[in-house]
Amino acid sequence: MKDDSRDKRRRARLPRHLPRLALLACLALVVVSLGMVLMPGKPPETQEPPLSERARAAALADALHLKAAGEQLGATAADPAVPATSATALPAVTRTVSLLTTQARALLPGSATETVPANGAPATATPSASSAAATASASSAPPTPAPPTVDRLASDLARSGRQRLADAAAVDGGMARLLAAVGTGQLLQSSSLAAAAGVPDPAPGQQDPPAGAPTGAASCPAAPASPAAAGGATGTGAGAGKADLPGALAALIRTELETVYEYQVALTRLDGTAAKSAADDLARHEALVAGAEALSRRHCAPIPPREAGYALDPAFLASPGPGLAALETAALPAYGDLVAFSDGDTRQWAITGLLGAARRAAFWGATTDAVPGLAADPASFPTLPAG
């Protein structure tokens, strides 16, 4: 009987404790939930910028650093800590600073220098100019040891140029053309700077793609026997003037065929060392035509026919040297377009061809552009941030 009454009393007390137990349970849940909210979660991982943006930032950092070294060399008269720059080298140093300033502006976002003509859209997302400048200043570009010297600046300029060409082989199309132009300009200017300082050229090397160009098996569909297809083969239809790989190849072939013709004419009006140089360049251009045609077959692109001849300016006939300089300069955008629209070993062939054409243009007396092969007005480039 005692046990029964004890159980009855326990059951009678239990309903009275239920509200209190429920309140304690709610308080416990609130405390646990607050702890979960206040506990800091794992921060999201920062996404690495695309390869093209990293390559741009590195190129901008190098250009700004080299520009600062050149400015320091140009101000040696006011800085006794820097070895005096010789009077013969000083103009080349000034030109180097100007070139690097233009290149740095071209590498800032918003300059539209990395666009591909096919659609006019940037190949990559473009951050603000201020953020790009911050990224460049934080880059790990190797510093030039102080105090700077002309030969060291030439060497660092060549190193940067080679890196830009290496990066151009791997990035997006529009950025590839920009980096190839920057690298080519830096390599040419490093040679010019070394010559002015009387030191060995830090940027010698192969000027043209290897003879024959890259080859590979291609399975091309049979071309339809139609007027449109025939027009494409004559350079007035498909592949002619189009902003794509076949169009870029066709434009380059036409440019090189005209160049071959004009070199043949120039040889009849040159003598001595100029004639020998022109003969060597003619052989290079004949190899470039063969290489570009081989690439067209590889990519199933129409090959423009060879013209019987081209109209020549009387000034060219009277003095072929300046005409050859203009001819080589005119080929630079064609190589730049092929860089933008190709990839792999075809792009590498185009990058090497761009550098070779720029070197030949400089040999015949053309003024080296800051971004050879880039059809853009430097006046449209954004201004560098202050400081």
Q: Which of 161, 122, 120, 138 is nearest to 54 (CA)?
A: 138
Please give the Cα distance from 157 to 153 (Å, whole number).
6
Please give the Cα distance from 263 to 285 (Å, whole number).
9
CATH architecture of 51-205: Up-down Bundle (1.20)
Please give the Cα distance from 334 to 295 (Å, whole number).
15
Contact 249, 346 (CB under 8 A): no
Look-up: residue for tokens 């050229």? Answer: 201
Phi-psi region of 200 (alpha: psi -120 to 50; beta: other; left: phi over 0): beta
DSSP string, 54-94: HHHHHHHHHHHHHHHHHHHHHTGGG-TTSPPPPTTTHHHHH
Residues 6+ apart with CB under 8 A from 107: 56, 59, 60, 63, 113, 132, 178, 182
The pLDDT value given to residue 345: 96
Contact 368, 187 (CB under 8 A): no
The pLDDT value given to residue 204: 80
DSSP code for 115: B
**% helix, strand, coil for the chain, step of 5:** 65, 0, 35
- CA torsion sign for 356, 148, 93, 321 is negative
Spell out the domain ranges in the chain: 51-205, 236-363
The pLDDT value given to residue 102: 97
Please give the Cα distance from 200 to 151 (Å, whole number).
8
- CA torsion sign for 127, 52, 161, 134 is positive
> Domain 236-363 belongs to what topology?
Ferritin (1.20.1260)
Report in angstroms the alpha-carbon separations of 18 from 31, 224, 333: 20, 89, 86
This prediction has a pTM of: 0.78
Contact 163, 87 (CB under 8 A): no
Answer yes or no: same fold for 51-205 and 236-363: yes
What dihedral do alpha carbons 141, 142, 148, 149 form, nearest 10°?
Answer: -100
Beta bridge partners of 122: 115
Alpha helices in 142-244 (DSSP H): 150-168, 173-197, 227-233
- The alpha carbon of 133 is separated from its chain's Cα centroid by a whole number of angstroms, namely 18
For the chain (387 residues), the mean pLDDT of every run of 10, in chain order, is 58 60 67 56 73 96 96 74 75 96 93 56 39 42 65 96 97 96 97 93 72 62 49 41 89 97 96 96 97 97 92 92 95 97 97 96 92 91 85
Residue type, 56: R
Please give the Cα distance from 213 to 84 (Å, whole number).
46
The pLDDT value given to residue 42: 63
